[in-house]
Structure 1
Amino acid sequence: MSMDYILRIMKPMLEGAQMTVILFFITLILSIPLGFIVTLLAKSRIKPIAWLMHTYIYVIRGTPLLLQLLFFCFGLPMLPVIGEYLVLDRTTAALLAFVLNYAAYFAEIFRGGMLSIDKGQYEASQVLGLSKSQTLIRVIVPQMVRIALPAVTNEATTLVKDTALLYAVAVPELLHFANTAVNRDFTIVPYFVAAMIYLLLALVLTLFFRALEKRFKFE
């Protein structure tokens, strides 16, 4: 295929990539703090709250993201009694599914990070007269971030690729436009172009997180 053809299909595909990037950033911005809150609630001494959080994590991590997308996009309106109040546009429903899914995974990452911190850190904080909230903010969280950052990087890279699942619920993103061009022009070139865009996004993301890891490592 000529370069003219590639340039011609790039415009709609870049529009689709814009949706991919928007979904990625919104999901990351919302799911990371939500995941941390879930981690704290899962450690709550109030058993029903802790049980609810553990159940949420188990259900989300134990079912496919695609199934969750289909449920939020098509299943919510079909729920008895409350379904008519849960009708969302496809993009909003998909975003909700992504945020809840990745929050559960980040919650497990943060839990692992907190478990790896020596108990002596908590005892030392008590000796210094720090409250539980001060211990969490000043002592635990900074160490947890350093420990959890590589795993967060992996999840963020996976998120870039998982945005392709939006194709299954008819949200126009990068893969949607690539597949449209393939079906229209009977060529697989759009798939290669889409792959290059995904790889570029993953590369930028990897470089950013590596710089972030180095900063936390040497501070």
Structure 2
Amino acid sequence: MTTSPKAFSKVFPKTAQRGDGAVAIEAVPLRHPGRWVGSAVLAFLVIFLLQGWAANPRMQWDVVGEYLFSPAVLQGLGTTLLLTVLAMAVGIAGGAVLAILRMSSNPLLSGLSGFYIWVFRGTPLLVQLLFWYFLSAVVPKIGLGVPWGPTFFEFDTNQIITQMTAAVLGLGLHEAAYMGEIVRAGITSVDVGQTEAAHALGMTRFQTLRKIVLPQAMRLIIPPTGNQAVSMLKTTSLVFAIAVPELLTSIQGIYSRNFQQVPLLTVACIWYLVATTVLNAGQYYIERRFNR
């Protein structure tokens, strides 16, 4: 059953017949007054809360400005950023190795990778940090030699596993367990036919992984890795338990002397927000590059 343009225009008056005989409908967008009212109420609440927070004299914004660029605060910020970079480097490298081992056809290698991920994801990060910090209580000396044989070199554990080393090991090895699953998910998302085609062309498994699989898997690996980097930046605050002078530890050291807790915690929040904004911007440009 067909309807002529004239009959159609009688039913739908907001129509016009074009020169080619087709009917052009003048579409009227739907009105959503509820959305505008809800948005206005929400905007009012946000402005009201921000104004009350900014105008509150107990926030002591002069103290915030005084300590925002304090040498102790900037030094703690530098330690936080260094910990984030080192821990993520260990985590990404370890995660890639764990993912490859987990996908191995060798049951021993696959089982070892699964056991590592099970242990490090199943125990709290704070416990792992404390374990590495107190490692000398279990292993007082670290030696290099033949197993069950002579030792060629021996070092004091406390000299090797310092506070900073314990923090990097604790954060990085814990992160590797999560990155292993992220990398494995990205690799398995690539169609297996591409791997088979690469092998048919004579490429080795390493060449296939490096030139075919990983470039495509990166589009799925980068977003969760960026989230892990942002999370790591904030997780570094846990190293206060082993007295590493990162940002929050430096802030706590200052307000333990002047008792200005809220202004100094505001300083910490500002720097954490600045750092996470930079990380998010970097993630955006990296994602855009691999999405080409």
For normalisation by structure 1, the TM-score amounts to 0.92
Q: Which has the higher contact order (CA 8 A, sep 6+)?
A: 1
**Aligned residue-pair number:** 215
Structure 2 partner of 1:84: 141
Residues 68-79 of structure 1: matches in 2 within 5 Å? 68-74=128-134, 76-79=135-138
Structure 2 partner of 1:189: 263
More strand as a share of residues: 2
Q: Are the structure 2 counterparts of residues 2 and 152 from structure 1 closer, same or farther at C-alpha, using a change threshold of 3 Å?
A: closer
1:141-167 Cα offsets, whole Å, 9 max, x none, are 111111111010110110000010111
Q: Which segments of 5 or more consecutive residues in structure 1 lack a partner in the other structure?
A: none
Q: Which segments of 5 or more consecutive residues in structure 2 lack a partner in the other structure?
A: 1-59, 143-156
Q: Distance in 2 between matches of 1:31 and 1:8?
A: 33
SS of the aligned residue for 2:244 comes to coil
Q: Distance in 1 between matches of 2:269 and 2:115?
A: 36
The offset of 1:4, in angstroms, is 6.2
Structure 1 partner of 2:73: 13
Structure 1 partner of 2:186: 113
AA matched with 2:282: F
The offset of 1:115, in angstroms, is 1.4
User: Cα RMSD over matched residues?
Assistant: 1.6
Residue from 99, 103, 106 that aligns with 1:43: 103
Contact 1:69 1:169 in 2 (8 A): yes
Pick the structure with greater CA Rg.
2
Q: Are the structure 2 counterparts of residues 105 and 121 from structure 1 closer, same or farther at C-alpha, using a change threshold of 3 Å?
A: same
Residues 152-191 of structure 1: matches in 2 within 5 Å? 152-187=225-260, 188-191=262-265
Residue from 266, 270, 279 that aligns with 1:205: 279
SS of the aligned residue for 1:52 comes to helix
AA matched with 2:250: F
For normalisation by structure 2, the TM-score amounts to 0.70
Residues 60-71 of structure 1: matches in 2 within 5 Å? 60-71=120-131
SS of the aligned residue for 2:245 comes to coil
Q: Distance in 2 between matches of 1:118 and 1:96?
A: 35
Q: Are the structure 2 counterparts of residues 2 and 138 from structure 1 closer, same or farther at C-alpha, using a change threshold of 3 Å?
A: closer
Q: Distance in 2 between matches of 1:6 and 1:209?
A: 30
Q: Are the structure 2 counterparts of residues 146 and 8 from structure 1 closer, same or farther at C-alpha, using a change threshold of 3 Å?
A: closer
Contact 2:67 2:267 in 1 (8 A): no
